[in-house]
Structure 1
Amino acid sequence: MEQDYKPKIQLPHINRSPKPILINRPDKPSWSFSFKYFEQKRFFGLKNKDGGWFVSIFEQLRDYCKVDIEKFQSDLKMQNGFRYHKIDWHGKNVPMERADFNWIDKDILENEDEFPFYQIHISKALGRIVGLWGLNNIFYILLLDPEHNIQPSKYNDYKVTKTAIQDSNYTSLMIDIDKLKKHQCATPCKLREELNNIPSNNNTSFYSFELHDDYYEAFHEKIKDKSITELIELGLLHI
Structure 2
Amino acid sequence: MAKKSKFKQSKLEQKSEYIKPSSIEGDDKISFNFRRMRSDGDKFKYCDKDSRYFLKLVERLRDVCHLTPLELKTSRSSSLKCHQINFADSRCTEDGFGFNSQDIDDNGWQFEISQNEHGRIHGFFLENIFYVVWLDPKHELYPGKKL
Fold-level match, TM-score > 0.5? Answer: yes
C-alpha distance 31-93 of structure 1, shift in aligned 2 (>3 A): same
Match of 2:107 among 116, 124, 137: 116
Pair 1:28 & 2:20 matched: no
Match of 2:121 in 1: 129
Q: Matched residues in 1 for 2:125 and 2:84: separation? A: 11
Per the TM alignment, residue 28 of structure 1 is displaced from its structure 2 partner at its CA by 3.4
**Which structure has the larger Rg over C-alpha atoms?**
1
Contact conserved, 1:83 with 1:121, CA < 8 A, in 2? yes
2:67 maps to: 67
3-state SS of 1:77 partner: coil
Judged with a 3 Å threshold, the aligned counterparts in structure 2 of structure 1 residues 52 and 117 are, in CA distance, closer, same or farther, namely same
Contact 2:110–2:123 (8 Å) recurs in 1: yes
Distance 1:55 1:120, change over 3 A: same
Give the partner amino acid of 1:129: I
Structure with the higher fraction of residues in helix conformation = 1
Contact preservation (8 Å) 1:87, 1:151: no
Relative to structure 1, the CA distance from residue 72 to residue 44 in structure 2 (aligned partners, 3 Å threshold; closer, same or farther) is closer
What is the Cα deviation at residue 91 of structure 1?
2.8
Partners of 2:69 and 2:109 in 1: how far apart? 15
| SS of residue in 2 equivalent to 1:72 | helix
Report 1 or 2 for greater relative contact order, CA contacts < 8 Å, sequence distance ≥ 6: 2
2:46 paired with 1:46 = yes
Structure 2 vs 1, CA of residues 69 and 117 (structure 1 numbering), >3 Å: closer, same or farther? closer
- How does 1:1-239 map onto structure 2 within 5 Å? 28-42=27-41, 43-73=43-73, 75-78=74-77, 81-98=79-96, 101-102=97-98, 104=99, 106=100, 109-111=101-103, 115-123=106-114, 124-135=116-127, 137-153=128-144, 155-156=145-146
More strand by share: 2
Post-superposition CA distance 1:55-111 (Å, at most 9, x none): 2111110010012444334x3524x6511111122334422211xx33x4x2xx222
Check whether the contact 1:126–1:146 (CA below 8 A) recurs between aligned residues. yes
Aligned-pair identity (%):
27
Task: Tell me which amino acid in the other structure corresponds to 2:129.
Answer: I
- Paired with 1:53 and 1:81, the residues of 2 have a C-alpha distance of 15
Gaps of 5+ in 2: 1-25
